[in-house]
Structure 1
């Protein structure tokens, strides 16, 4: 395997730091999908926890190391899920957490960040402008800047999912991973390439926010001027070079999917698995829907990575009635 910034020994050690409630999440086969999708699909459910996403696996590491190092303040930019996770991990350790987010971010995510006690700073722009503002705050106040996907804790925390997948029985042929900044994909990919190299690692991104996928295909950083997708959790425009290098070492493919397929995936997760998820969590199902022939007869795992969704928007997208 090509070298990445990640280290499997550190990833195994991370399991001793992360609160057990975020570990060993459910992994189960969803047979109800199989007639329509034409393949065996198992779900790795990363939403049954207090922050309803996988992000706390990484923020638990960050917060623990800050405390060990005597630091008490940290700032991050977030589309919502990282901010919630950092607020949760920081609250339990007495940290001063600041989260910078776009004013247009999902209202439910912003409300939860506030409820968890973090200071919320809103910017009139997208996630990339929030990243710039968070860096400014860190410089001004002399505090830790947590950069999702660049900071190795976010990748190695997510990589603990890979340890659980590698140990799973029965084995599987491919894993479909939502691709945004890259922490989840590089983390899971690193572990699987080392411990289960026969598993195909396929990253999935919305066609409306294609920067990381275009970068992976070009083998160099490709930025975009805009991002237009309902999958706000993966709507970045400026890939991080070091993260792209890691992704190039572990990803077998990166694909783009249409918005209609994302919505169809969300509806399938509701109808056949009883799961209300945010759009990013449906990217794996969207990829199967768009290329059934590729996955025919195979056993595929999709990581359901978040369920922090604005319910009014969810009902509008999926055409489900509000009660």
Structure 2
């Protein structure tokens, strides 16, 4: 299996990552099962200082910066994670984000000490601005999913999954770091487990690209799942995804909201929309998963409080 990722590097990444991000809870959530019609286990990536899986990758990135300043574009979670990893190492970090990003995420980026620049546009415009800053200032541009460290940091989740037999793992699909990272490990060490990526109908670029085996871009996105709302897939990441994913599916907004509600009511979890994509996939195609044991990665918990209350009410 030829991808940019390397199992030996992934295994070597674990000691580079603050233990606070590692060995996150993995448990069967029987309370969810009557509503979903299959055995469901949760891999909980929200119980850490940045409330998402992104800290695994930014720890690997920051460990290699050697005092160098850095800039990234972020919908919120990567920015928080990079700010956290940089603060502990005394590094200067700038985060570029859309001014329409989730306010709670922006507030945490500031609180963690990063310089925050807002743009009047979506995440793709933030990516362009971050690249311009890196060129102008001569600093490191951290590009989520394109930088293999972000994928291999996320892939350490896969190392923690493969000791338990599952029929399928459901992974939120955005830029692709989580899906390619976990997918690489699962397909290397537990090849019989299906790797199924899940994306909103309102942000389908990477899923369409996977199905057509070429980069497909979209002009806009329309989803509450801001963490996966990219419009321009990265060719190198798509190439990796094509090697490790068994399927990529799209789900409706109503199913994402229903998934958030189920996780709150039956698992006591406050999650952002991207983290409910796996549950949404189970709701939309119960026959596919009937009688199987699946694991879904609950990848982030940085929901806007007011919006969350509206969604789960």
Q: Same fold (TM over 0.5)?
A: yes
Partners of 1:248 and 1:217 in 2: CA distance: 9
Give the match's secondary structure for 1:176: strand
Give the match's secondary structure for 1:15: helix
Q: Which position in structure 2 is the counterpart of 1:269?
A: 263
Residue from 278, 281, 293 that aligns with 2:275: 281
Q: Which position in structure 2 is the counterpart of 1:40?
A: 39
Give the match's secondary structure for 1:181: coil
Q: Which position in structure 1 is the counterpart of 2:188?
A: 194
Give the match's secondary structure for 2:64: helix
Gaps of 5+ in 1: none
Deviations 1:108-165 (A, max 9, x none): 0000000000000000000000000000000000000000000000000000000000
Partners of 2:297 and 2:269 in 1: CA distance: 13
Q: Which position in structure 2 is the counterpart of 1:74?
A: 70
Q: Is the 8 A contact 2:205 2:217 kept in 1?
A: yes
Correspondences of 1:77-92 after superposition (within 5 Å): 77-92=73-88
Residue from 96, 101, 108 that aligns with 2:104: 108
TM-score when normalising by structure 1: 0.96
How far 1:72 moved relative to its partner?
A: 2.2
Q: Does 1:184 align with 2:196?
A: no
Q: Is the 8 A contact 1:72 1:94 kept in 2?
A: no
Q: Is the 8 A contact 2:261 2:311 kept in 1?
A: no
Q: Which position in structure 2 is the counterpart of 1:60?
A: 59
Residue from 305, 309, 318 that aligns with 2:312: 318
After superposition, the CA RMSD in angstroms is: 0.5
Q: Which position in structure 1 is the counterpart of 2:19?
A: 20
Gaps of 5+ in 2: none
Q: Is the 8 A contact 1:205 1:256 kept in 2?
A: yes
How far 1:36 moved relative to its partner?
A: 1.5
Q: Which position in structure 2 is the counterpart of 1:216?
A: 210
Partners of 1:28 and 1:95 in 2: CA distance: 36
Q: Is the 8 A contact 2:97 2:126 kept in 1?
A: yes
Q: Which position in structure 2 is the counterpart of 1:167?
A: 163
The list of structure 1 runs, each at least 4 consecutive aligned residues, that deviate by more than 2 angstroms after superposition, is none
